[in-house]
């Protein structure tokens, strides 16, 4: 099939298998340009492994640390007529590249929230790898079926303190528009916490411990976000922020729990980046457009792979004892430190005040955002022939 991008709102409904492999290889190449990580874990489970921060974490663990990795993800294969989703192709490309380097790499496509998935993962890990010394929890999901009650929860992106209106970006028209979001109900908050809070992470860790699959000194990490004042009403003080509060509270409880195996549980606060999850959040995409311009101007722009490489290399595994990993006053690792720098934030907030359709192309990095967005689906690489016929039905192993 000849595969071209088909963009509908904030999603691209096609993905290019060769381009996705190219995107994965680009991240592998970044990691390989740096020194190997000698004190990194050797057996790593990544939950949410097919895209964004989870995929980048897996690439760093494998290609910098030489780890055997097991990935859990939820993607759609091709039915022969439609392409698979990008994460499907990413995973196939990752596994191929890891094995070519002699690294164990297997994955399970299934619902991470389900007990059955947890059981299957435990069986596979027990058979192939033995207890893991790191668990990365990097899910971004719109819904969760609770494994005990069968109830379906849906996450939402709504402000909690009243209706909120602010500027956002319409990428189809390259226009700055006003978007209004209605105040969340208490039910919306509770549902979002059920999906994106810490309960499932805790279930995973308790299950793996009961199955004796956590190695001594195992570290588990999940990802959070704080962000600037301008996105507080929709993000940190919104429904998703309530879920992140829950995730961070869970981390503090899990940290004690992991002490039973001499390990730790930590949340890392990462920077705002173009991923499938973040492109769905109103206001944030415009903020990222402005942020990218300011961070690039200062030579401190990072994508997922740069962020995760710095997390592993400088924060988690640079030879310190687990207890000495640097954290903020709330016990969180911070790799959003460059994003929240005073000079960066002052510049973004200055531009935000007057940003409009007339000046957004000048004051923001719309082209850079669009390029990153297309790459998520394997498009926009000059060395990939998008007019060539490609096999879309790539089998998972």
Told to check if 308 binds ligand NAI by CB under 6 A, we report: no
In the bound complex, what is the minimum distance in angstroms from residue 283's beta carbon to ligand NAI?
13
Q: Minimum distance from CB of 277 to ligand NAI (Å)?
A: 4
260 within 8 A of 196, measured Cβ to Cβ = no
Residue 251, interface with ligand NAI (CB under 6 A)?
no
Residue 54 engages ligand NAI in binding (rule: CB under 6 A): yes
One residue of 49, 86, 125, 351 binding ligand NAI per CB under 6 A:
49
In this structure, are residues 152 and 195 in contact, taking their beta carbons and an 8 Å threshold? no
Alpha-carbon span 267 to 38, nearest angstrom = 23
Estimate to the nearest angstrom the gap between the alpha carbon of 359 and the chain centroid: 30
Look up 235 and say whether it is catalytic.
yes
Q: Which is nearer to ligand NAI, 89 or 225 (CB)?
A: 225
Would you say 151 and 64 are in contact if contact means Cβ atoms under 8 Å apart?
Answer: no
Q: What is the 8-class DSSP label of residue 280?
A: G
Q: Which is nearer to ligand NAI, 166 or 278 (CB)?
A: 278
Task: Name which position in 57, 194, 275, 285 contacts ligand NAI (CB under 6 A).
Answer: 275
Looking at 17, 19, 41, 48, which residue binds ligand NAI (CB under 6 A)? Answer: 48
What whole-number distance in Å separates Cα of residue 249 and Cα of residue 238? Answer: 17
Using CB under 6 A as the binding rule, whether residue 50 contacts ligand NAI is answered as yes
The nearer residue to ligand NAI, 14 or 138, going by C-beta atoms, is 138
| Helical (H) or strand (E) element with 335 | none
Residue of the chain from 120, 141, 190, 232 that contacts ligand NAI (CB under 6 A): 141
Structure-token pair, residue 189? 């908050």
Question: Is position 225 an interface residue for ligand NAI (rule: CB under 6 A)?
Answer: yes
Catalytic hit among 137, 235, 287, 369: 235
Number of chain positions touching ligand NAI (CB under 6 A): 29
Q: Give the number of other Cβ atoms within 10 Å of residue 143's Cβ.
A: 13
The answer to whether 357 and 53 have CB atoms below 8 angstroms apart is no
Q: How far is the CB of 219 from ligand NAI (least distance, A)?
A: 17
Comparison of 51 and 135: residue with beta carbon closer to ligand NAI:
51
Among 69, 138, 168, 220, binds ligand NAI (CB under 6 A): 138
Q: Six-digit token pair at 28? A: 């592998």
Contacting range for ligand NAI; rule: CB under 6 A; set: 19-27, 269-277, 358-366, 379-387: 269-277
CA distance 161 to 263: 38
Distance separating alpha carbons of residues 258 and 264, to the nearest angstrom:
5
Residue 356: CB minimum distance to ligand NAI, A:
24
223 counts as binding ligand NAI under rule CB under 6 A: yes
Residues 58 and 46 sit within 8 Å (Cβ to Cβ): yes
Residue 72: which of 128, 37, 112, 119 has the closest Cα? 112
Measured between alpha carbons, how far is 366 from 307 in angstroms, rounded to an integer?
Answer: 21
Residue 107 binds ligand NAI, judged by CB under 6 A: no
Binding string, residues 77-106; x marks residues near ligand NAI by CB under 6 A: ----------x-------------------
Q: DSSP per residue over 102-129, as a string?
A: T--EEEEES-TTSHHHHHHHHHHHHHHT
**Residue numbers at the binding site for ligand NAI (CB under 6 A):** 48-54, 72-75, 87, 111-113, 138-141, 223-225, 270, 272-273, 275-278
Enzyme catalytic residues:
235
């Amino acid at each position: 099939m000849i595969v071209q991008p088909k963009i509908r709102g904030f999603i691209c409904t096609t993905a290019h298998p060769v381009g996705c492999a190219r995107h994965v290889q680009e991240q592998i190449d970044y990691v390989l340009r740096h020194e190997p990580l000698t004190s990194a874990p050797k057996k790593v489970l990544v939950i949410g492994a097919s895209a964004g921060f989870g995929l980048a974490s897996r690439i760093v663990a494998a290609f910098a640390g030489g780890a055997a990795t097991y990935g859990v993800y939820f993607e759609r294969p091709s039915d022969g007529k439609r392409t698979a989703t990008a994460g499907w192709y990413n995973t196939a490309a990752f596994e191929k590249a890891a094995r070519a380097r002699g690294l164990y790499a297997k994955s399970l496509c299934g619902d991470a929230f389900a007990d059955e998935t947890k059981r299957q993962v435990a069986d596979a890990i027990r058979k192939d790898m033995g207890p893991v010394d790191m668990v990365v929890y990097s899910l971004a999901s719109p819904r969760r079926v609770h494994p005990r009650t069968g109830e379906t929860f849906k996450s939402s992106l709504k402000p909690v303190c009243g209706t909120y209106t602010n500027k956002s970006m319409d990428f189809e028209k390259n226009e700055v528009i006003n978007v209004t979001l209605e105040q969340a109900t208490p039910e919306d908050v509770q549902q979002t916490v059920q999906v994106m809070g810490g309960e499932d992470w805790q279930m995973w860790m308790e299950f793996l411990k009961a199955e004796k699959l956590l190695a001594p000194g195992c570290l588990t990490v999940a990802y959070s976000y704080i962000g600037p004042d301008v996105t507080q009403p929709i993000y940190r003080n919104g429904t998703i922020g309530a879920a992140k509060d829950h995730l961070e509270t869970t981390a503090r409880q899990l940290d004690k729990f992991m002490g039973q195996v001499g390990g730790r549980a930590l949340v890392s606060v990462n920077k705002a980046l173009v991923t499938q999850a973040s492109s769905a959040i109103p206001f944030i995409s415009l903020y990222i457009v402005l942020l990218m311009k300011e961070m690039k101007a200062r030579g401190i722009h990072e994508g997922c792979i740069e962020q995760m490489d710095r997390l592993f290399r400088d924060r988690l595994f640079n030879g310190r004892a687990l207890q000495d990993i640097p954290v903020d006053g709330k016990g969180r690792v911070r790799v959003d430190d460059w994003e929240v720098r005073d000079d960066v934030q002052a510049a973004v907030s200055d531009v935000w005040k007057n940003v409009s359709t007339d000046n957004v192309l000048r004051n923001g990095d719309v082209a850079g955002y669009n390029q990153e967005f297309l790459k998520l689906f394997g498009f926009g690489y000059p060395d990939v022939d998008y007019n060539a016929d490609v096999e879309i039905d790539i089998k998972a192993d």
